[in-house]
């Protein structure tokens, strides 16, 4: 009971600390006082010309799946370009208690010396095209990320919310049905909608993503049915981050599903609750928890002196090593009452590598709270995240805990700054593992431009 009590206490302290400042900083306002954060007469937003579209600027905050409503009239073919840029200043320090392991005269458990400075900037480019009424194409290109400094296509897919043919039956069906086809960010869970993705961290109130970052792109299709706030989705993909026809005996399709409810219950209160599953029986290289080519926001933490920033791009993340078989499920509650938002993540994943004969299990929990004030231009936020499970080669379970407390300022609807204090601890690792007693903490500042 002591462990559970400590977890509950940390969750409570993190949320209360983050929300407390905001609750006393400004009076609670009604929902009808809301506007797009940062929007002013001197910083007007570009009109939306693409249907069923989630904007890349502040208008996309708290938008999850691309909206079913058209959003804008159809006026023929339209093309929209956008981009995102992110730059962090990092002031972190790290330490561990691992015993020296000497290989070739080098202590492989000695941590790389780090100091304060600017991390590598990241940039993303978007191209959205309206091809027909309620049919659009989205293409996302990473211009520069931590893992890939060169230009790299993230995804490209069709989003179909209407029939291309004049047919009453199809038109009626498409009032409720959405098809997503191509190479896309798979819709497992809701955390990926609130995460930083290369140059765009506009939708993440803090700087880090979850410790186990369920984020990957795969080739396949998803079908959605939505009505009166209810949603159901089924999908199938190739199960890997890239397409291939090699080694068919070692590969199988990935199947995913999602059900949920999302409704504005009254002018002040919005409630959303979803459950997702993701399963594949065999894969050459599944990347559900290793698919972010942008890498982690925490550069060079808890790595040894031979590490490189790009090759070890996921420092601070936990990658369970489920490269062959994966079975994952997650529940995500989201509540917004006036300026207060609460988001949760309750997740379990089982899997193994091709060389293993039994599954390993990981459990991840996260709770995030924030308060928006000053007509949503400012906010304070806090997140507690913990992951526990077994890694390949380690007999016992290990645990990773992270606390983030920070806030942000929308200078305009396309320009924002945010900062956070972060502390992460690694527990129960063997004394010969570099993460034994590993921890990092300090301050982060991030500037974001997204349009």
| CB contact at 8 A, 258 and 232 | yes
| CB contact at 8 A, 280 and 254 | yes
- Model confidence over 278-293: pLDDT tens digits? 999 999 999 999 999 8
Three-class SS of the chain: CHHHHHHHHHHHHHHHHHHHHHHHHCCCCCHHHCCCCCCECCECCCCCCCCCCCCCCHHHCCCCCCCCCCCCCCCCCEEEEEEEEEEEEEEEEEECCCCCCEECCEECCCECCCCCEECCCEEEEEEEEEEECCEEEEEEEEEECCCCCCCEEEEEEEEECCCCCCCHHHHHHCCCEEEEEEEEECCCCCHHHHCCECCECCCCCCCCCCCCCCCCEEEEEEEEEEECCEEEEEEEECCCCCCCCCCHHHCCCEEEEEEEEEEECCCCEEEEEEEEEEEECCCCCCCCCCCCCCCCCCCCCCCECCCCCCCCCCCCCCCCCCCCEEEEEEEEEEEEECCEEEEEEEEEEEEECCCCCCCEEEEEEEEEEEEEECCCCEEEEEEEEEEEECCCCCCCCEEEEEEEEEEEEECCCCEEEEEEEEEEEEECCCCCCCCCCCEEEEEEEEEEEEC
Residue with tokens 């995102």: 84
- Model confidence over 348-382: pLDDT tens digits? 999 999 999 999 999 999 999 999 999 999 999 99
| CB contact at 8 A, 130 and 50 | yes
- Model confidence over 192-242: pLDDT tens digits? 999 999 999 999 999 999 999 999 999 999 999 999 999 999 999 999 998
| CB contact at 8 A, 439 and 94 | yes
Confidence of residue 116 (pLDDT cuts 50, 70, 90): very high
Residue 34 has a pLDDT of 62
Give the number of C-alpha atoms closer than 13 A to the C-alpha of residue 229, restricted to the C-beta side. 9
Query: Can you read off the two tokens belonging to residue 357?
Result: 């004969």
Residue 18 has a pLDDT of 45
Query: Can you read off the two tokens belonging to residue 7?
Result: 């977890």
| CB contact at 8 A, 268 and 193 | no
Residue 13 has a pLDDT of 52
* Proportion of the chain above pLDDT 70, given as a percent: 92
Residue 15 has a pLDDT of 45
pLDDT beyond 80 at 127: yes
- Model confidence over 304-362: pLDDT tens digits? 999 999 999 999 999 999 999 999 999 999 999 999 999 999 999 999 999 999 999 99
What CA–CA distance (Å, rounded) separates 25 from 4? 32
CATH, residue 238: 2.40.160.10
pLDDT beyond 80 at 423: yes
What CA–CA distance (Å, rounded) separates 305 from 199? 28
- Model confidence over 96-112: pLDDT tens digits? 999 999 999 999 999 99
Phi-psi region of 133 (alpha: psi -120 to 50; beta: other; left: phi over 0): beta
Residue 359 has a pLDDT of 96
Q: How far is CA 88 from CA 120, 296, 298, in A?
A: 8, 12, 9
Q: Which of 141-150, 219-228, 423-432 has the lowest mean pLDDT?
A: 141-150
Domain that holds residue 332: 2-450
Residue among 316, 331, 403, 396 nearest 364 (CA): 331
Cα-atom radius of gyration of the chain, to the nearest Å? Answer: 22
Residue 26 has a pLDDT of 41
Residue 293 has a pLDDT of 86
Q: Which residues pair with 94 in a beta bridge?
A: 440
Residue 31 has a pLDDT of 43
Split into its structural domains, the chain has a count of 1
Beta carbons within 10 angstroms of residue 365's beta carbon? 17
């Amino acid at each position: 009971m002591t462990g559970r009590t400590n977890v509950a206490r940390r969750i409570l302290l993190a949320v209360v600390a983050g929300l407390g400042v905001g609750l006393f900083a400004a009076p609670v306002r009604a929902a009808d006082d809301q506007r797009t954060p940062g929007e002013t007469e001197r910083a007007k937003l570009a009109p939306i010309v693409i249907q069923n579209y989630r904007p890349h600027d502040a208008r996309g905050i708290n938008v999850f799946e691309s909206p079913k409503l058209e959003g804008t009239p159809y006026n023929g073919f339209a093309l929209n370009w956008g981009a995102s840029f992110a730059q962090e200043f990092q002031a972190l320090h790290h330490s561990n208690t691992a015993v020296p392991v000497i290989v070739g005269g080098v202590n492989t458990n000695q941590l790389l010396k780090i100091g304060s400075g600017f991390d590598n900037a990241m940039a993303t480019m978007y191209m959205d095209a309206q091809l027909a009424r309620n049919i659009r194409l989205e293409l996302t290109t990473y211009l520069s990320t931590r893992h890939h400094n060169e230009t790299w296509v993230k995804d490209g897919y069709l989003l179909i919310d209407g029939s291309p043919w004049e047919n009453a039956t199809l038109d009626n069906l498409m009032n409720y049905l959405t098809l997503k086809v191509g190479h896309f960010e798979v819709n497992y869970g809701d955390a990926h909608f609130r995460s930083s993705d290369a140059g765009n961290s506009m939708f993440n109130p803090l700087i880090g993503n979850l410790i186990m970052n369920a984020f990957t792109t795969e080739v396949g299709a998803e079908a959605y049915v939505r009505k009166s706030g209810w949603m159901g989705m089924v999908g199938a993909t190739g199960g890997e981050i890239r397409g291939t026809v090699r080694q068919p005996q070692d590969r199988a399709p990935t199947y995913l599903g999602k059900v949920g409810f999302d409704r504005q219950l009254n002018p002040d209160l919005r409630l959303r609750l979803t459950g997702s599953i993701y399963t594949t029986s065999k894969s050459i290289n599944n990347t559900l928890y290793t698919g972010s080519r942008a890498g982690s926001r925490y550069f060079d933490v808890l790595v040894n002196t031979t590490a490189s920033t790009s090759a070890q791009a996921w420092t601070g993340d936990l990658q369970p090593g489920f490269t062959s078989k994966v079975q994952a499920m997650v529940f995500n509650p989201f509540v917004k009452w006036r300026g207060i938002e609460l988001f949760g993540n309750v997740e379990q994943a089982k899997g193994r590598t091709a060389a293993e004969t039994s599954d390993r299990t990981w459990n991840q929990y996260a709770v995030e709270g924030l308060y928006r004030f000053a007509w949503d231009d400012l906010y304070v936020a806090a997140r507690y995240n913990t992951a526990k499970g077994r890694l390949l080669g380690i007999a016992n379970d290990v645990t990773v805990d992270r606390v983030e407390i920070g806030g942000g300022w929308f200078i305009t609807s396309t320009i924002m700054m945010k900062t956070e204090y972060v502390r992460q601890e690694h527990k129960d690792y063997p004394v010969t593992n570099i993460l034994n007693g590993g921890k990092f903490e300090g301050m982060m500042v991030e500037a974001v431009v997204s349009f």
